[in-house]
Amino acid sequence: MGWALIPAGMLIYIALYAVVPVLPGLERLFGVPPGSAHLGISLPFLALVLLSPLVPRIPLPVGVVVGLGLLGVGLMGVLAGLSPNLALWTLCRTLQGAFAALVPGLSLALLPRLFPKRHAQMAGLWIAGNVLGGGLGRGLGGVLAEALGERMALVLLSLPVVLAALFVLRGGERLVLPPPRYSLSAWPLYALGFALLFLNFFLANLLPYRLEALGLSQAQIGGVFFAYLAGIPGSALAGRLVLFAGEIGAFRLAFGVVALGVILQVPNHPLPILLGFVLLMAGIFTAQAVVGGASGRGGSGVSSAYIAAFYLGGTVAGLVYPPFIEGVLWGLGLALLVVLASLGLAPRALGGGGPRPRPLL
């Protein structure tokens, strides 16, 4: 079960994020104005927000819950690709997010139990799998859409999740986690989770519109999203970075890189935008591995609440980015403010990896 968590996380993010580079094309396909597809970005993650804290209370073995989540993500992704209009596409995307809620929080809570002496390193590898999935989904989404059309791209990138689900469900994993315990005292940790996905989605959602205005094709835009793969080395090695600099130091170093990445995207030229986006992804996913590993120590209740806050950031980003399509510099300024606030919260959120949060329930 332990080693299955990494490819499972990778595949759900391929399916969830393949839509990002094809947003302008989907809007043209459905005959709607630019920015109209934003609910298909935000509602799946709202479902993740609302359902993630409830997932640990499902009275089924963890393997069954994860397998059902994968199966739903894959099937809803296929149906979304085949949807004839924006309303049905949005519904399928929302259900896709609901099924995805069954996977991440349980995965983070499982890592300390499955790998008690290496949970920080394994959390980094799990995030690296997510990064690989997000990068491949966004990159291949644009490339396949250019070659085969938006619909077929989304279908093809969702089918592997169905196959992975059948593999997990046939494995018959019977592992059961202890009852979840929730904590409000861990709110700074949740706030960092919110900031991580907000920054990621807010800037990534604006990117296709900006690059298309600069003359890039869908395939070229998809290629730019392979920059997500820059997050793999940092996230995979985040455990070692924590051992060297501590959780707070590792987070500050990673978010310093995030700040530089945001600043480099100010010039309206593809090259600095690409370089800045690469640095942004490298820093965000290193920080995400650090914070995600810290959340897993609190048990399934804290890790699931962290996942809910994390995806709340993505939900808010999906709702607020459309007004910034014509005002990207204002969007970059907002992103820098979120970076600074996160740096200020890091000592309270991480505390050197020390005290466990007091349980609320």
Whole-angstrom Cα distance, residue 145 to residue 102?
Answer: 28
Q: State the DSSP string of 89-134.
A: HHHHHHHHHHHHTTSHHHHHHHHHHH-TTSHHHHHHHHHHHHHHHH
Residue 40 located in a structural domain: yes
Give the model confidence (pLDDT) of 120-150 as tens digits.
677 777 777 877 887 788 788 888 988 899 9
How many domains, in total, are found in the chain? 1
User: What value does the mean pLDDT take over residues 193-207?
Assistant: 91
pLDDT at res. 352: 45
Mean of pLDDT over the chain: 84
Alpha-carbon distance of 291 to 128, in angstroms, equals 13
Instruction: Give the CATH number, domain containing residue 244.
Output: 1.20.1250.20
Q: How confident is the model at residue 78 (pLDDT cuts 50, 70, 90)?
A: very high
The answer to whether residue 361 is domain-embedded is no
Q: Is residue 359 a part of any domain in this protein? A: no
Residue 264 lies in a domain: yes
Structural domain of residue 244, as residue ranges?
5-353
Q: Is the predicted pLDDT of residue 211 greater than 50, yes or no?
A: yes
User: Is position 328 within any domain?
Assistant: yes
State pLDDT tens for residues 155-167: 999 999 998 888 8
97 in any annotated domain: yes
Q: Is residue 358 part of a domain?
A: no
* Nearest alpha-carbon partner for 327 in 209, 188, 198, 214: 209
Q: What pLDDT, on a 0 to 100 scale, did the predictor assign at position 92? A: 95
Distance CA(222)–CA(240), nearest Å, equals 31
pLDDT band at 242 (very low <50, low <70, confident <90, very high): confident
* Most confident of the following: 136-145, 171-180, 228-237, 289-298: 136-145
